[in-house]
Structure 1
Amino acid sequence: MTTKLTTFLQTCVLTTACIFSAQAMAQAYPTRPVKLVVPYPAGGPVDGVARGAADRLSKIWGQPVVVENKAGANEVIAADFVAKSPADGYTILFGADPTFATNQFLFKKLPYDPVKDLVPVSRIAIVNMAIILSGTFPPNNMKEFVSLVKANPGKFNYSAGAGTAAHVQFDAFLRQQGLEMTHIAYKGTASALQDILSGQIQATMGGITVAKPHLASGKMKLLAINGNKRTKSLPDVPTYAEAGFPNTQAFFYVGFAVPKGTPKNVIDAITTANRKVANDAEFIEKSLDPYAYEPITETPEQFAKFLVGDRKLAEKRIREAGARLEQ
């Protein structure tokens, strides 16, 4: 065998070995701990869902999935961090509507492009929102509420953080019903909660976690909640359709996103794992049912298609509500 032939064969062997090695590395995800970035403080309902998902992802992958809370700026801080992280699947965003749909219309400028810099992977949960009243406010059902507000335009207040899903969707509900209420924006939920409990604020919209501790005492009332069926944790609260408002929808969602350029096999691995998590009975019982969240699974293509319509709706509702945030 000539020296040239020997060298050629050695090169082929090495090249083939490198190809197989690269393929093996591409398929072996994850091989080290994964960071799940949550745009909200520890201890809240979104954080609780994220930690429940992280625990099950760790078991599925055989690698630690660590939650890192980066709260603030309506999810901008966390989303920007993930958008600028290496596109290797080891930094995943656990974001909601602000990241995926609304922030681009609320802020004049963002430090990242939510459409170009982040790849939506899959939603994992739908968060059903309820209309919540102060216990001092007379209405006890949706029809009484609408009737009283319609008879007194501009007299009553509602509270929601400026530009939040609660603000935009409650405003949309009022417009749909031809109602007029004054929006009072609070910087924090603690002060808003106190004013709702005292009756200075008559109504709000949001997840049920705010109201649940105050329902038994009568300090708060849940009139109706989003969803195709009643939530397990509050079976006495009707859906909007049951309450006589079948065209009302009020929800937000949480899901996974990764930096642009993340390999397809990694995105596929996250999608597959998410499907297992969202169908896990224990995860649903412990991390979703208490908050009236519903599990959802979809492909990256389905999530992206959903976002096309959701962004158009978000832009319309934000423009109508006149909501703006500074950045």
Structure 2
Amino acid sequence: MKLWIKLAAALLSGACTVASAQNFPNRPVRIILAITPGSVADAIARFMSQDLTARLGQPVVVENRAGGGGAVAAEACKQAPADGHTLCMLHVSTFSLNPFTMQRLSYDPFKDFKPVTRMFFINEALVVSPAVAARSVEELRKLLVANSGKFSYATLQLPGADYFQAGLSEQWGAQVIAIPFKGGGEVVTALLSDQVNIGYAGAGNFAEHVKAGKIRMLAVNAGSRLKEFPNVPTFGEAGIKPFKIKAWWGMFAPAGTPEEIVNRVNTELSRSLADAKVRQYVEERFMESAVTANPAEFASFVRQDYERGGALVEEIKRAAGNK
């Protein structure tokens, strides 16, 4: 008798899941975003939400949950109902850095989420405030080496997980004081007010101020020079070796979200990212459109990047121990 009850319960659960997937979405969809308003990723998320609203037939709204290198948004995502009406736009730190740098991680990067698709990579830029007497990467290197530990640096990473700072330390032997911020807009404000000397974040955060001469862009972490800034060299051209991981954003859902719903979101999100107007909007903000992936392919990418992040953090720790 108990066996029949269990079988009936399983069949009923399966039927409910199918019905839920068929009715999805039946109310507004929320995207939890792991960054502050005013950042480039925030602008893109809000622009895409309009396109997704038309594709899904329900309003898609963005809810900012910044902080903790993405951990605040990840925790909110973990606790959300797994019915597809909450999606989570999370970034590289959440999966590839936080697990190795946070003593108490409030989420499991592989058990608490379902990967939906990769969205885009970030073309990042190294910038300085006009008060810094460096007009090239080489001039900045000499300045930092001669004044190790005296310059401040705005970062979006948690202390100990900053791959750019680690790269500087490894390649130049120069120490900078890392000051974490929750979004690119905050980094810009800090640079403009001379609260920090150096910044490293998505190039789109700085573009307007670089053109106005209020911030100086020294190099871009991209495969080629940005057409809007043809005189700014790539990291490779400027003598900075590539970092072992590249910043990215992706869409996830809470664990337990039905596969049918995850696949539906993947399909609509992939169509949105392939849409000409959306792609143009993304690329105009100096993001690199990623080749979208099905959920299984994206899950494999996240696992591989997690391993790369772990190796990088170990290098950071070894470098710190040798100083």
Q: TM-score range by the shorter chain?
A: 0.7 to 0.9
Separation in 1, partners of 2:257, 2:15: 20
Question: Deviation string for 1:221-250 (max 9, x for gaps)?
Answer: 111112223334434423223434463577
Please, which of 93, 112, 116 is the counterpart of residue 88 of structure 2?
A: 93
Separation in 1, partners of 2:106, 2:172: 37
Please, which of 172, 186, 198 is the counterpart of residue 178 of structure 1?
A: 172
AA at the equivalent of 1:220? I
1:16 alignment counterpart: none
Cα distance change, pair 274–192 in 1 and its aligned pair in 2 (3 A): closer
Normalised TM-score (structure 2): 0.80
Separation in 1, partners of 2:78, 2:286: 30
Conserved in 1, the CA contact under 8 Å of 2:165 and 2:176? no
Question: Post-superposition shift, 1:130?
Answer: 1.0
How many percent identity over aligned positions?
Answer: 29
Please, which of 293, 300, 309 is the counterpart of residue 305 of structure 1?
A: 300
Question: Post-superposition shift, 1:292?
Answer: 0.9
Gaps of 5+ in 1: 1-18, 323-327
**What secondary structure does 1:241 align onto?**
helix
**What secondary structure does 1:277 align onto?**
helix
**What secondary structure does 1:71 align onto?**
coil
Give 1:47-86 correspondences, 5 Å limit.
47-86=42-81
AA at the equivalent of 1:106? T
Q: Which moved more, 1:87-96 or 1:157-166?
A: 157-166
Q: Which moved more, 1:268-277 or 1:298-307?
A: 298-307
Separation in 2, partners of 1:260, 1:32: 20
Cα RMSD (Å): 3.3
Question: Post-superposition shift, 1:117?
Answer: 0.8
Cα distance change, pair 75–247 in 1 and its aligned pair in 2 (3 A): closer
Q: Which moved more, 1:131-140 or 1:46-55?
A: 131-140
Matched, 1:212 2:221: no
**What secondary structure does 1:160 align onto?**
strand
Matched, 1:154 2:125: no
Conserved in 2, the CA contact under 8 Å of 1:146 and 1:179? no
2:135 alignment counterpart: 140
Question: Deviation string for 1:262-307 (max 9, x for gaps)?
Answer: 1111111111112111112211223x23431111111222222222
Conserved in 2, the CA contact under 8 Å of 1:207 and 1:292? yes
Matched, 1:203 2:198: yes
Conserved in 2, the CA contact under 8 Å of 1:35 and 1:92? yes
1:228 alignment counterpart: 223
Separation in 2, partners of 1:38, 1:198: 27
Question: Post-superposition shift, 1:204?
Answer: 2.4
2:270 alignment counterpart: 275
1:26 alignment counterpart: 21
2:6 alignment counterpart: none
Cα distance change, pair 220–165 in 1 and its aligned pair in 2 (3 A): farther
Conserved in 1, the CA contact under 8 Å of 2:33 and 2:89? yes
**What secondary structure does 2:61 align onto?**
strand
Conserved in 1, the CA contact under 8 Å of 2:65 and 2:72? yes
Question: Post-superposition shift, 1:208?
Answer: 2.3
Gaps of 5+ in 2: 1-13, 318-323
Separation in 2, partners of 1:80, 1:60: 28
**What secondary structure does 1:98 align onto?**
helix
Q: Kindly tell me the number of residue pairs found equivalent between the two proteins.
A: 304
Separation in 1, partners of 2:161, 2:152: 9
Question: Deviation string for 1:4-26 (max 9, x for gaps)?
Answer: xxxxxxxxxxxxxxx99975653
Work out which of the two has the higher radius of gyration on C-alpha atoms and give 1 or 2.
1
**What secondary structure does 2:37 align onto?**
coil
Please, which of 31, 34, 49 is the counterpart of residue 39 of structure 1?
A: 34
**What secondary structure does 1:115 align onto?**
coil
Question: Post-superposition shift, 1:156?
Answer: 4.5
**What secondary structure does 1:154 align onto?**
coil
**What secondary structure does 2:89 align onto?**
strand
Following TM superposition, where does structure 1 have runs of at least 4 consecutive aligned residues deviating by more than 6 angstroms? 19-22, 188-192
**What secondary structure does 1:122 align onto?**
strand
Q: Which moved more, 1:193-202 or 1:88-97?
A: 193-202
**What secondary structure does 1:228 align onto?**
coil
Matched, 1:292 2:294: no
Cα distance change, pair 68–202 in 1 and its aligned pair in 2 (3 A): closer
Conserved in 1, the CA contact under 8 Å of 2:78 and 2:254? yes
Conserved in 2, the CA contact under 8 Å of 1:159 and 1:185? yes
1:169 alignment counterpart: 163
